[in-house]
Amino acid sequence: MPSKNSQRPTEVKPARYSAAELKVLKVLHDSKKPLSTLELSVRYYGRKAEQPYNGRQVVGALLRSLKAKADYNRELWRVSSSPRKGPHAITWWVR
């Protein structure tokens, strides 16, 4: 019987990454430095004029999902972030 602290049993398939999550991961990996959600949303959507009204929230949700899936899959790389500070942008990086 697996312990209560184990994240997933060994017979469960790994979580699959969506195309959007892979695009955000590529942007983070190519930057080589921590990026705020503001910078990430501009790089993800291309130009600031093409960014939807809630683009920053969409990118934040993609990053949280990517982090959860990477932790679940026990990847060698990790997606990390700074703590939330109210209305200020969160900084994300890959290590």
pLDDT digits (tens, 9 = 90+) for 12-62: 788 999 999 999 999 999 998 999 999 999 999 987 667 888 988 999 999
Residue 87: pLDDT band with limits 50, 70, 90: confident
* CATH class, range 19-94: mainly alpha
pLDDT band, very low/low/confident/very high, at 7 (cuts 50, 70, 90): low
| Residue closest to 25 by CA, chosen among 66, 60, 55, 61 | 66
**Domain boundaries of the chain, sorted by first residue:** 19-94
Backbone angles phi, psi at 92, to 5 degrees: -120, 150
The pLDDT of residue 46: 85
